[in-house]
């Protein structure tokens, strides 16, 4: 059984390793243990058989907009709906916090399009969102597109 829950301090190394592994293919940006520690409250994990099998982070970008970051499912757990559940959970959290929009920068948007995210020109995102891009090995040749989901205020529960 896969359980979706908020990250705990003891998950730090597992979160670091799962992201680092996926970052080797360029699918997500590598994050240091220190950075993960400082943002641990952003993280939601999927736990199965006493292992962390998936992670995602909800990053507060501006008062209106938050960002889905570091969505990764461990290879042997892919295709089982874990990614979809992690994404549903961050969307729910974003609504509960009162955000109007949630966005993601992604190369392979299938999962996001399924959830109702729409492709938008990257220039529509606030400038401050790009401050972490300089840390990306692909910078300035970005191969990701921006997808935004508008969150209805009627569904905050
Ligand atoms: C993307 C990822 C998180 C999906 O996790 P998952 O648990 O396998 O996803 P799910 O089983 O919930 O599948 C949800 C849908 O996404 C599709 N999907 C799965 N992996 C995908 C991928 N790499 N790219 C695009 N779509 C993908 C599935 O086919 C499924 O579609 P369906 O419902 O029409 O069959 C996982 O493949 C992964 O960790 N990839 C490497 C890191 C990455 O690319 N992260 C996203 C950064 S934006």
Domain boundaries, the chain: 3-155
Which of 10-14, 73-77, 108-112 is least confident? 108-112
Question: Per-residue pLDDT for 153 more than 70?
Answer: no
CATH for 3-155, among 3.50.50.60, 3.60.21.10, 3.40.50.300, 3.40.630.30? 3.40.630.30
pLDDT at 134: 72
pLDDT at 137: 74
Give pLDDT tens digits for 57-89: 999 999 999 999 999 999 999 999 999 999 999
pTM exceeding 0.85: yes
Measured in angstroms, how far is the CA atom of residue 106 from the centroid of ligand 1?
Answer: 11
CB of 73 shorter than 6 A to ligand 1: yes
pLDDT at 154: 52
Give the chain's mean pLDDT.
92
Which pLDDT band, with edges at 50, 70 and 90, does 132 fall under? Answer: confident
User: Do the strands 101-106 and 65-73 form a parallel or antiparallel pair, or are they unpaired?
Assistant: parallel
Long-range (24+ apart) CB contacts under 8 A made by 47-52 are: 47/2, 47/3, 47/4, 47/5, 48/1, 48/2, 48/3, 48/77, 51/14, 52/11, 52/14, 52/15, 52/18
pLDDT at 136: 75
Measured in angstroms, how far is the CA atom of residue 23 from the centroid of ligand 1?
Answer: 15
Q: H or E element: which one contains 13?
A: helix 12-23
């Amino acid at each position: 059984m896969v359980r979706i829950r908020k990250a705990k301090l003891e998950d730090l190394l597992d979160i670091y390793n799962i992201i680092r592994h996926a970052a080797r293919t360029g699918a997500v940006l590598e994050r240091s243990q220190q950075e993960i520690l400082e943002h641990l409250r952003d993280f939601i994990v999927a736990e199965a058989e006493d292992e962390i099998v998936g992670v995602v982070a909800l990053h507060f970008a501006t008062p209106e907009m938050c960002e889905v970051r570091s969505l990764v499912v461990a290879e042997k757990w892919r295709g089982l709906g874990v990614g979809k559940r992690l994404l549903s959970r961050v969307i729910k959290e974003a609504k509960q916090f009162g955000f109007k929009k949630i966005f993601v920068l992604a190369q392979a948007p299938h999962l996001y399009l399924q959830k109702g995210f729409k492709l938008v020109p990257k220039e529509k995102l606030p400038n401050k969102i790009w401050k972490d891009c300089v840390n990306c090995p692909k910078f300035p040749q970005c191969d990701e597109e921006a997808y935004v989901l508008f969150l209805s205020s009627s569904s905050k529960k």
